[in-house]
Amino acid sequence: MIRHILTALTCLSLTACSLDIKNEQEISGDDIINTTQKATSILAQAYRDLPYAPETLTMLSEDLQPTYLIEYNSDTKKYYAWDERTLRTSTSSVWDSYYSAITHLNAILNTEQNIKDKGAEWYYIKGNALALKAQIYFDLLQLYSPRYSPENLGVVRKDIVKLENNKRLTQGESIQYIQTMLTEGIKLMTGYNSAKVYFITLASAQQLEAKIALYVRDYPKAEQLAQTLVSLSPTLPNTPESYRALWKYTDNTPSQQIYWVYDYRGNPNYYLETGKTGDIMQVNYLNEFKSTDMRYTVSQYKYEMKGEGATTSARSLLGKYKMNFNDKEERRIVLSRNTESHFILLESLIEQQKLDEATALLNEFLVSVNNEPIESVHSQQVLRLLFRAEKQKEFIGERINYFDLKRWNVDITRYISDSNKKLSTVEASDFRWTWAIPYTEIKYNPNVKQNEGWQNID
């Protein structure tokens, strides 16, 4: 998996407008990366390798349910149903993409002694590489390891640009490894004034700290970190126009609402379409928005679409990046935004039984999207359920929901196409929540142990 030959890109300065740049030459040997510009090019390649296609996690979550068109897309139908073989194929590709990005980041982090023009820009690049590597390893931990317990198996650590046969860290060791990188990365990025939104930003890295605290159930720390971010931008989008602007964000400077976007080079919702007849998936009926909700015409849109027969009805299709079915404009995926900081804070308050504060914060959100506030303080369990339902609706179609569902340790439903009837249940205890370590990793690294439930076969 790990290659010693790295692909460099044409020179990309931190003031460039995208990561869409052409291959120019191959770099062999870490010592050739000896300027800030070359390091930035390698950093850009690491971002381009990220496996952030929207469907990967959304299709496995509760955000959407299938229309009849899924019957004509057997691979998609199998993936939606969590078919083991289909999952292995997809998740193996995700693993390879993450470790390809890590290879490029390791090339940057192992070349500091060769950089001739060390200065503020170099230290920002180094910090950004560390923060992105921390983000990647946190993703890997959530996907390829069981729910958090310090002694459970964690990530496969790789720090050099050569084949490594390391055994898996424990989850406790993995968190310590991730936090060490993130702490240094944040320190190096702080104070840099030319950051661009298509690289992980300082606010996004700080939000990652809060996510990690939530993940390990350190709720006081999660509260403190999230509160710091929220205090910088306490006002949430509260009009359809301000909310729609999140998904059309074209500026390259981070804003109070947008922390980090990914240059996907395509409409992020395009994967849901099937020709001219409609979408494979529609909004889960439990996640549909009321007509009075600010997000009614933004997070979803209505499209007249046939069912299994001659009946035509208005389906609720996933919006945000699309205003209507014929909208083909390319968008950048929002990976980190201010609203998530509010929800991290809200969850940390609920789990600490600070129910008055949590209720006030939840009502602040509900009012911002033009929904009725809840009238009284509920029990922790009821407030937890209300919060989770609202979070799933707010982040519909985003990567966050799948990670939350696994972390919350809940069962989820698969639906029969064109029906609200249950096809199957993926129980919280199902081994498929923890993805399989790819066969190639097991084959070439005898120190890596496969996850429970998966056989060591290709």
**Cα separation values, 270 from 174, 393, 414, Å:** 35, 20, 22
Residue keyed to tokens 């084959």: 443
> What letter represents residue 235's amino acid?
T
> What letter represents residue 244's amino acid?
R
How many Å from the N-terminal Cα to the C-terminal Cα in the chain? 15
Over 80: is that where the pLDDT of 62 sits? Answer: yes
Over 50: is that where the pLDDT of 20 sits? Answer: no
Return the structure tokens found at 18: 């995208």
Give the residue with greater pLDDT, 159 vs 164: 159
Count the Cβ atoms, other than its own, within 10 Å of residue 36.
Answer: 22
Residue keyed to tokens 């299994």: 308
Contact 30, 161 (CB under 8 A): yes
Q: What percent of the chain has pLDDT over 90?
A: 79
Give the residue with greater pLDDT, 310 vs 373: 373
Q: What is the pLDDT of residue 457?
A: 63
Quote the pTM value.
Answer: 0.92
Determine what percent of the chain falls in helix, strand and coil, rounding each to the nearest 5. Answer: 45, 15, 40
Q: Which stretch of 43-52, 157-166, 350-359, 407-416 has the lowest confidence by average pLDDT?
A: 157-166
Residue keyed to tokens 């996690």: 57
304-333 tens-digit pLDDT:
998 766 688 899 999 999 989 999 888 999
Over 90: is that where the pLDDT of 395 sits? Answer: yes
> What letter represents residue 151's amino acid?
E
Contact 317, 279 (CB under 8 A): yes
Measured between alpha carbons, how far is 328 from 331 in angstroms, rounded to an integer?
9
Q: What is the pLDDT of residue 30?
A: 43
Measured between alpha carbons, how far is 213 from 229 in angstroms, rounded to an integer?
14
**Cα separation values, 306 from 17, 68, 314, 424, Å:** 41, 9, 9, 24
Closest CA to 57 of 340, 392, 290, 288: 392
Q: What is the pLDDT of residue 369?
A: 97
Residues with Cβ within 8 Å of residue 129, at least 6 apart in sequence? 43, 46, 105, 108, 109, 185
Count the Cβ atoms, other than its own, within 10 Å of residue 329.
Answer: 9
